[in-house]
Amino acid sequence: MTRETVERLERANLALLARRLDEAVRLAAGVLEAEPDNVAAGEIQGTALLMQGRSAEAVAPLQRAADLSEDPNIETLLGRALANVGRGEEALATLHQASRRQPPFPQAFLELGDQLGAAGRFEEAATAFEDGIARNPQAQVLRVGLAYLHLKRNDRRRARELFAAVRAAAPERYDALVGLGRVLAADGDYAGAADLFKQALAARAGDAVVRLELAKCLLELGRREAGEAELRTAAGGEAAGAGAAILALAATPHGRLFLKPSAAMAFLGVDGA
């Protein structure tokens, strides 16, 4: 590998990390033009394309890089790209392969479990997560993935146990905090859920989905003014954020039902109402 190639790869990787995705794609493409078998360039280009939502274009560079390297990270990215373009069975085969690599790669099990769960293959998904946990005991992300799978299956007891265990081991994990809040809300403990959602928003104030969940809990608790204030914040004065807020207003016993969409938009303070 020439010094020029190394420098170009470094620049491409920095662009990827800085989310200058067009630049990363262009620099990686330049390397691949000169060195078609450059695994690092294929990984950078495929990753940047995947992050841009260009999964169909990401498949080829990721496939070549995976074939050349047998790298589980690249195979996991390839599995995601294949799933995104509707090649589900190929995606699962690729992810199964990635999950067999040594040393075990936690993200491969996470992606495999998530894809199986999305396909409604819940038992296989649980097995993937459990296998990953057995081989990666410190990978809390897999316990979180399994907990969300149990929540999706409405096994709230098991979901609560897993989320609580992750919170005890890694209290900084945002996904476990939000997940536990969702379990409490599903169980009707709106006060407990609201407290957890407030903690989550203290860490990530811009999470509109969690803010909506907090608003619904407050409305369920009869705290209408506080709940409606959170809904307005979640909508952010934009029409794009208003739909979920309007549904939340109408879905709870202490909410509001508007006969005209324009009235609901005005109530939420959305521009152009």
pLDDT tens column, 261-271: 554 455 555 55
pTM: 0.86
Is 218 part of a structural domain of the chain?
A: yes
Is 86 part of a structural domain of the chain?
A: no
pLDDT tens column, 24-65: 999 999 999 999 999 999 999 999 999 999 999 999 999 999
User: Of 43, 69, 95, which marks where a domain is finished?
Assistant: 69
Domains contained in the chain, number: 2
pLDDT tens column, 66-115: 999 999 999 999 999 999 999 999 999 999 999 999 999 999 999 999 99
**DSSP annotation of 241:** G
User: Of 26, 44, 69, which marks where a domain is finished?
Assistant: 69
Residue type, 147: A
Is 117 part of a structural domain of the chain?
A: no
Instruction: List the domain range (segments joined by +) for residue 226.
Output: 188-273
Is 122 part of a structural domain of the chain?
A: no
Separation CA 263–CA 1 (nearest Å): 64
pLDDT at res. 4:
87
Other CB atoms within 10 Å distance of the CB of residue 263: 12
What CATH number should be reported for the domain holding residue 32? 1.25.40.10
pLDDT at res. 249:
61
* Range among 109-123, 219-233, 237-251, 255-269 with highest mean pLDDT value: 109-123
Is 239 part of a structural domain of the chain?
A: yes
Scan for tokens 């609560």, then name that residue.
160
Kindly write down the DSSP assignment for every residue of 193-238, as one continuous string: HHHHHHHHHHH-TT-HHHHHHHHHHHHHTT-HHHHHHHHHHHHTT-
User: Stretch 4-28: mean pLDDT, rounded?
Assistant: 96
pLDDT at res. 2:
84
Distances in whole angstroms, Cα of residue 272 to Cα of each of 183, 237, 240, 247, 256: 36, 9, 12, 19, 21
Is 134 part of a structural domain of the chain?
A: no
Burial 9-20 (b: 16+ CB within 10 A, else e): bebbbebbeeeb
User: Of 14, 41, 69, which marks where a domain is finished?
Assistant: 69
> Is omega for the bond preceding 261 within 30 degrees of 0, making it cis?
no
Is 144 part of a structural domain of the chain?
A: no
Is 4 part of a structural domain of the chain?
A: yes
